[in-house]
A and B are shown apart, each in its own frame.
Chain A
């Protein structure tokens, strides 16, 4: 099942299927290791609901819901 990372709740995990979006944001996601095939775990949301924290490639990354909506994840 494919789901957008922005729809994840804490504790869910999966494998990245595709990264959409444009130019700068997409590039930045790639550079931070958010590439197709990478496995990630959604750790938690910030106290105010956004941004979120994920674990991927052995480190913690934070991104906003809007940016997480560019990441399609296979569960």
Chain B
């Protein structure tokens, strides 16, 4: 027998995820709704007398046609004909939650209402009569507590016992009856299912219904100039308050809830922003800091803590202690990273040692495992970052951050919601891009995904450290911290400029509206959090083993095979296909300062930029390898020897060797950093961007990254080399701005500002 399928539907923040998890347990699996990046979750519920299939629809407030979530839910119920709909309703907020219920009742589908959070209602001293609501609505109503797991069995039993057929009924007053009947007749002749639902949506000026042939004419005939949209919304709410106020008894005392008290502090006029900065800093500190709580820095005020190498312990102990400590205590995120790093290193060594043939050992250990671990190695920190942001999201604080910061982001045509994904980009682009799902507006989502890589991630820091350190050492000028800091700033400026340009050219349109619920604060659910993280892990690991894996292997092959397909070891990388390619594309980088002008060894920079596509930490790793090649090729590297290179952990020496061999200038080096920061991100981020962007946008996004990095690099190099070129750049910028403004003005259509207002008597 085929399992009965039920759709789970409800408002955001009503406990739908918790109920879904309680119903389906470990059977749930996550996919995507076709064509859009909205999670589709499905699972089997085994709690009742028969197994039933549960499909979790996205959290929505209404069945309007404006957001992808609403359209998905609506089409699913209308077209897929589930056996029934389980409508979860937050009992602490009945009025707004039942608005969706009144729309569901109009569809020809069996409905059962799960009245959630009844325990909280009782705690507040209020009472809700579920039986009375059941009588009013005419469908079963079951009180449940998704968190405590009460009432779930009854819900499942009653859902499975629902009659197969149910005709849609409306709660709207009979005054509209004639109009609804008129519209219904039209849909009945069109032979669509749920004619009543369609009829009422048509009267609401629904875009999807108006798209049908003859629908507009039908509406115009019926409406006769009237506007039903407000009337219908109003009638729904009137019905709810009239019939349900009887079912709900409020306690007499009205006091400030805990949520209100928390909110007073967190969105305080003066303290809101400082508190937010502290929280954000703490998140990054716990995940990425190599000096947790600044214990090392505090200690260095006095005698200081000994470095790992100065400790008087055995090598085995050193490996172990090194996971937690090196002159300073590591943060939990870094410790986790080190655990995996040490483990992966041991596996790679063991596997490499076990294989006899040198080329095969190289391919497996360095190519396959190396590439895979380079990506998987970041998983602990990515997940930890995910966890903090999920906690902030689930607790309700993220909505407040959007509330506090919206003012700033509106200037750039974005909303306060886009701040979080961007700032996450400083940690890692992958979770940041996934987080753009919280943005309702498609333009905003695309723009945000595109600029996220400009917020320099953790893996790009080594490039900064090595080259900035190299500049100071080799040229004896500047301050490494200052260079690093200004590069971060440059990334932010590039992001802001890009968003402004996009919003004024390819992504014109109104600033997305910001009409959002501020959910009550509550503690995040540990189980939900773990399930969420598990989903992300599966997703990421799957990617690592497919697209990222394939790309790393290809790059490794290119860097270890000669054009005549002979295997080359590391020290002969200069003869590889990759090096040939590097020499071939070297002239392309001439305007950026690391092209033809840096002579016959200049291709090393081009090759490093290419290997950076796999993972950004490869840029400096490649410097090390290529530095060794340069020595083998007899380049003048300023007395640097192979041994010194091997001992060089931060890559500064390799950077210096490359500077010496190529005679590259400071502006060109800065341009190289800027280029790597703003160009195509690593494969993991690219794979994520491709999944998160709407169809057809990924290729344009890649082109955008190439164009942006080329422009930024060229500007940095030319202005750094010849200060007066700043005026040329300024002139170009001025011309571009003028052109955009003129173009927009010329094409600016005067929008009809027909105001539709109506007063309800």
Please measure, in the bound complex, the distance between the C-alpha atom of A28 and the C-alpha atom of B510, giving whole angstroms: 15
Closest A residue by C-beta to B236: A35
Kindly state whether residue B410 has any CB partner on chain A within 8 Å. yes
**Shortest Cβ distance from residue A71 to the other chain B in the assembled complex, whole angstroms:** 11
Please measure, in the bound complex, the distance between the C-alpha atom of A37 and the C-alpha atom of B408, giving whole angstroms: 33
> Contacting A27 at CB < 8 Å: which of B229, B268, B270?
B229
Q: Are B403 and A53 in contact (CB under 8 A)?
A: yes
Please measure, in the bound complex, the distance between the C-alpha atom of A72 and the C-alpha atom of B759, giving whole angstroms: 9
Kindly state whether residue B407 has any CB partner on chain A within 8 Å. yes
Please measure, in the bound complex, the distance between the C-alpha atom of A42 and the C-alpha atom of B681, giving whole angstroms: 45
Kindly state whether residue A26 has any CB partner on chain B within 8 Å. yes
Segment of B58-66, B528-536, B635-643 in the binding face = B58-66
Q: Are B64 and A31 in contact (CB under 8 A)?
A: yes
Q: Are B234 and A60 in contact (CB under 8 A)?
A: no
A residues at B contact (CB < 8 Å): 17-22, 24-33, 35-38, 44, 46-51, 53, 57-64, 67, 72
**Shortest Cβ distance from residue B512 to the other chain A in the assembled complex, whole angstroms:** 10
Q: Are B93 and A48 in contact (CB under 8 A)?
A: no
Please measure, in the bound complex, the distance between the C-alpha atom of A48 and the C-alpha atom of B276, giving whole angstroms: 14
Q: What 1/0 flags go to B513-544 for Cβ under 8 Å of A?
A: 11111111000000000000000000000000
Q: Are B403 and A64 in contact (CB under 8 A)?
A: no
Given A46-B407, A51-B406, CB of A31 within 8 Å of CB of B99: yes
Extra inter-chain contacts (15) besides given A63-B515, A63-B516, CB under 8 Å: A18-B230, A21-B756, A22-B754, A28-B513, A30-B62, A30-B229, A31-B64, A31-B233, A35-B237, A46-B267, A49-B407, A57-B93, A58-B93, A60-B519, A67-B513
Q: Are B518 and A51 in contact (CB under 8 A)?
A: no
Which residues of B, 230-251, contact A by the 8 Å Cβ criterion?
Answer: 230, 233-234, 237-238
> Contacting B269 at CB < 8 Å: which of A47, A57, A60?
A47
By a CB distance below 8 angstroms, the chain A residues around B517 are: 32, 59-62
**Shortest Cβ distance from residue B258 to the other chain A in the assembled complex, whole angstroms:** 14
By a CB distance below 8 angstroms, the chain B residues around A28 are: 64, 66, 513, 515
Which residues of B, 704-761, contact A by the 8 Å Cβ criterion?
Answer: 754-760
Kindly state whether residue B96 has any CB partner on chain A within 8 Å. yes
Kindly state whether residue B95 has any CB partner on chain A within 8 Å. yes
Kindly state whether residue B280 has any CB partner on chain A within 8 Å. no
**Shortest Cβ distance from residue A10 to the other chain B in the assembled complex, whole angstroms:** 10
Please measure, in the bound complex, the distance between the C-alpha atom of A28 and the C-alpha atom of B755, giving whole angstroms: 16
Kindly state whether residue B472 has any CB partner on chain A within 8 Å. no
Which residues of B, 87-122, contact A by the 8 Å Cβ criterion?
Answer: 92-96, 99
By a CB distance below 8 angstroms, the chain A residues around B96 are: 32-33, 57-59
Q: Are B237 and A38 in contact (CB under 8 A)?
A: yes
Given A27-B66, A37-B760, A64-B406, CB of A51 within 8 Å of CB of B514: yes
Please measure, in the bound complex, the distance between the C-alpha atom of A20 and the C-alpha atom of B519, giving whole angstroms: 26
By a CB distance below 8 angstroms, the chain A residues around B268 are: 47
Kindly state whether residue B687 has any CB partner on chain A within 8 Å. no
By a CB distance below 8 angstroms, the chain B residues around A44 are: 267
Please measure, in the bound complex, the distance between the C-alpha atom of A67 and the C-alpha atom of B406, giving whole angstroms: 13
Kindly state whether residue B272 has any CB partner on chain A within 8 Å. yes
By a CB distance below 8 angstroms, the chain A residues around B237 are: 33, 35, 37-38, 57
Q: Are B407 and A50 in contact (CB under 8 A)?
A: yes
**Shortest Cβ distance from residue B393 to the other chain A in the assembled complex, whole angstroms:** 16
**Shortest Cβ distance from residue A36 to the other chain B in the assembled complex, whole angstroms:** 4
In the complex, 12 of the A-B residue pairs with CB atoms within 8 angstroms, ordered by the A residue number, are A18-B760, A22-B756, A24-B513, A27-B64, A27-B204, A28-B515, A46-B406, A48-B405, A50-B406, A51-B407, A60-B517, A64-B410
Kindly state whether residue B215 has any CB partner on chain A within 8 Å. no
Please measure, in the bound complex, the distance between the C-alpha atom of A49 and the C-alpha atom of B61, giving whole angstroms: 27
Kindly state whether residue B404 has any CB partner on chain A within 8 Å. yes
> Contacting A20 at CB < 8 Å: which of B66, B399, B757?
B757
Given A28-B513, A31-B64, CB of A36 within 8 Å of CB of B95: no
Please measure, in the bound complex, the distance between the C-alpha atom of A30 and the C-alpha atom of B579, giving whole angstroms: 62
By a CB distance below 8 angstroms, the chain B residues around A47 are: 267-270, 272-273, 404
By a CB distance below 8 angstroms, the chain A residues around B234 are: 35-37
By a CB distance below 8 angstroms, the chain A residues around B238 are: 37
**Shortest Cβ distance from residue A48 to the other chain B in the assembled complex, whole angstroms:** 4
> Contacting A46 at CB < 8 Å: which of B64, B99, B404?
B404
List of 4 A-B pairs having minimum Cβ-Cβ separation, nearest first = A31-B62, A30-B233, A48-B407, A60-B518
Given A33-B96, A46-B404, A47-B269, CB of A67 within 8 Å of CB of B515: yes
By a CB distance below 8 angstroms, the chain B residues around A30 are: 62, 229-230, 233
Q: Are B230 and A36 in contact (CB under 8 A)?
A: yes
Please measure, in the bound complex, the distance between the C-alpha atom of A41 and the C-alpha atom of B601, giving whole angstroms: 70
Closest B residue by C-beta to A61: B517
By a CB distance below 8 angstroms, the chain A residues around B99 are: 31, 33
> Contacting B229 at CB < 8 Å: which of A25, A26, A37, A51?
A26
**Shortest Cβ distance from residue B551 to the other chain A in the assembled complex, whole angstroms:** 41
Q: Are B407 and A36 in contact (CB under 8 A)?
A: no
